[in-house]
Amino acid sequence: MRSPFFRSLNDMLSRNNRLIQSFVVAEIPAALLYLLCPVLTIAVFALLGAIQDWWASGVLWMLVIARSINVVVIKQRNVKGWKGPDRWVMGSDPIIIRGPALMPAQKKISPMFSTSSISRHHITLEAAGLVALADLSIVAVRTALTGTASPLDVLLLAPGMHQQQSAEEVNRGEFPTTGAITTGYVFRVENPATVSYLQRIGRTGHLVTARVSMNPSRDASLSRYDRLLQSLFVTGVPATLLYLLSPVLTVVVLALLGAIQDWWGFWVLGMLIAARVINVIIIRRRSKDSKEWKGAPEEGEGDLLILLSQDRWVRLRGSLHDIKTVTAGEWLRDQGTVESFFVALATLLVYAAAALAGNASMMGSLLIACLLLCSAALLGLCNSWTRCLQMYDCIVWKEGISERYQRRLDMVEDLILASGKSEWAFEMGLKRHVKSEASVGFDSESCLSSPRHSIDEQKC
């Protein structure tokens, strides 16, 4: 019988072998190359400390913090859930700084940091305008949540503003299968903004109920003042206040730039506002033209089951007219030739503003950078706290608490029991028809009496 010492030694060796085998499962050369990246990062940190270049060390620390945040978020999203994978990011990832972590426009900006400074600490801000080129989707997401572009959007200057026309891609190419519980018809949701919102409220293994209703702005039972007030705060008071704060910040920064007579910074913001004006006008034109076709008007109540990817199920309820408004037809029509030209012009204006921002004063650059960063933070919080989707004259909002199911079949059977109809389940392929013996072209007696009894006996 083995002693406790040898048993503990064997367990330790087994754990080490499992660790080594799991690490080199992608082959030894790949594992060694992976380990080389953190080692190089640590070596660069040591060299920067040896030469006492604290600013460069601070820049690397900012990149490490960004990598750490992304790794933590990936770990949280990749936890073992409803039939989910159990994969984890390796712990040494935060100190691997890869090239794509930097913006392409930042690869050759080092000479710009050698001409001016705010103080004796030589803090340069000549590249502050490059913040506007950050590849963020907050402006496109805001456009999808509101269904169009507001006139106030021209004063909302946030990174990624030049990508507003890509709002039609927020659904990531998904057009989910949909079944009408009331009629049994099967089709797809063709509105990318609606799909994006349903993806947002959907949860894996849960049935989420959403309701479509008319926007308070067209509720004839309300007074004009109440319609205006309720339509303004339909997305929620916090989200509305955060949204209104961004244009106010832009006006304040413009006033400060004029007060200090920093005309380069003033015109840089003017170029960004001009780009926003072009995008807002085109978004409004594209969404308005798409409203013309939403199918034939219908009366009555509708009830849809929408099967999203990753086993997310959404039940969409409301009047048939409102449901067709938010699901049928297109949301943003294709750009015309003239519109494509102006969209390209707006994009070039944003890049030109980023290039000319280096001519602004030190205080002007600081104001522009703070405006862009604060607007990004405010708009991101606004999108997160927006509780409904606005689409034309309708709103879509989550109703009640989602219900979790162990199997999709359990969810289907509950809906059949609640609705009293099952045709939609068979049409969507969620249930199978049970064939009776009468539907089969032969019975057992005729089969056994046939000359091929020995061959066909198993079929009977």
Q: Give the whole-angstrom CA distance, residue 63 versus residue 100.
A: 12
Q: Are residues 147 and 280 in the same domain?
A: yes
What is the structure's pLDDT at 54? 78
Residues 203 and 295 in one domain: yes
Integer Cα distance of 92 and 188 in angstroms: 43
**Alpha-carbon separation of residue 14 from 19, 23, 88, 220 (angstroms):** 9, 14, 21, 74
- For residue 452, tell me if it sits in a domain: no
114 domain residue, yes or no: no
82 and 133 housed in the same domain: no
Q: Please report whether residue 424 resides in a domain.
A: no
SS3 state at 232: helix
Residues 51 and 134 in one domain: no
Pull the structure tokens for residue 191: 């509105």
Residue 9 to residue 21: CA distance in whole angstroms: 18
Specify if 450 maps to a domain. Answer: no
Q: How far apart are CA 410 and CA 414, in angstroms?
A: 6
Residue 259 belongs to some domain of the structure:
yes
> Looking at the DSSP assignment, which residues form a beta bridge with residue 404?
206
The reply to whether 160 and 98 lie within a common domain is no
Same domain as 173, residue 272: yes
User: What pLDDT score does 35 carry?
Assistant: 76
Concatenated DSSP letters of 291-345: TT---S---SEEEEEEEETTTEEEEEEEEHHHHHHHHSS-SSPPP-HHHHHHHHH
Spans of the chain, pLDDT less than 50: 6, 9, 84-121, 436-460
- Together in a domain, 43 and 181: no
Write out the DSSP string of 31-85: HHHHHHHHHHHHHHHHHHHHTT-HHHHHHHHHHHHHHHHHHHHHHHHTS--TT--
What is the model's pLDDT at position 314?
A: 94
Q: What is the pLDDT of residues 120-170, one digit of tens each?
A: 445 555 567 788 888 889 999 999 999 999 999 999 999 999 999 989 889
CA-CA distance, 339 to 332, in Å (whole number)? 13
Sequence-distant (≥ 6) Cβ neighbours of residue 254 within 8 angstroms: 266, 269
The residue range of the domain holding 78 is 4-102
Q: Indicate left, alpha or beta for 135 from its phi (over 0: left) and psi (-120 to 50: alpha).
A: beta
Kindly state whether residue 32 falls inside one of the protein's structural domains. yes
Residue after which a domain boundary falls, among 365, 386, 404:
404
Per-residue pLDDT at 110: 38
Check whether residue 98 and residue 199 sit in a common domain.
Answer: no
Encoded tokens for 275? 């780009």
Q: Which of 54, 86, 102 is the last residue before a domain boundary?
A: 102
- Return the exposure string of 193-217: e unless at least 16 CB atoms fall within 10 Å of the residue's CB, then b: bbbbbbbbbbbebbbbbbbbbbbbe
Residues 67-91 have pLDDT tens digits of: 888 888 777 776 555 654 444 344 4
Does residue 411 lie within any of the structural domains? Answer: no
Strand partners, 209: 315, 399
State the pLDDT at residue 339.
92
* pTM of the predicted model as reported, rounded to 2 decimal places: 0.71
pLDDT at 125: 57
Query: Which tokens sit at 341?
Result: 């030209």
Six-digit token pair at 51? Answer: 């030469």
Query: How many domains does one find in the chain?
Result: 2
Q: Indicate whether 442 belongs to any domain.
A: no
DSSP single-letter state for residue 205: T
Residues 90 and 152 in one domain: no
Residue for token pair 């190419």: 173
Q: Give the pLDDT confidence score for residue 118 in this predicted structure.
A: 46
User: How many Cβ atoms are within 10 Å of 137's Cβ, its own excluded?
Assistant: 19
Domain match, 164 and 247 both: yes
Task: Tell me: do 67 and 211 sit in the same domain.
Answer: no
My answer on whether 157 and 258 are in the same domain is yes
